[in-house]
Amino acid sequence: MAEETIFSKIIRREIPSDIVFQDEKVTAFRDISPQAPTHILIIPNKLIPTINEVTEQDESMLGHMITVAAKIAKQEGIDESGYRLVMNCNKDAGQEVFHLHMHLLGGRNLGRLVG
């Protein structure tokens, strides 16, 4: 079984966090070291260390993470100007907390990354 992370405690509200959305599948909260005016982390309530551990049973939850991101982007007023969704997998990609999470970034021109 995967080791519990700080995100597990945020999900259970055992440590303070600026939670902007929570339901039975996911929790979303503001990053404590924002890289953009809007920087929100969206995490599954189920502990999955990295994308590599995602299973077919997790597909619905992953889709839910994206629809929640779109709802939050609208709430934050960045849906029209644009935003970026980022998921890192393992250390070389910059993953620091080993609880799968998606970064929702926006509120300014983020520049070209890919695409």
Residue 99 designated active-site:
no
Report yes or no: 87 and 103 within 8 Å, Cβ to Cβ.
yes
Report yes or no: 28 and 41 within 8 Å, Cβ to Cβ.
yes
* Rounded CA separation 92/39 (Å): 21
Catalytic residue, chosen from 39, 64, 99, 101, is 101
Catalytic residues, which ones?
A: 101
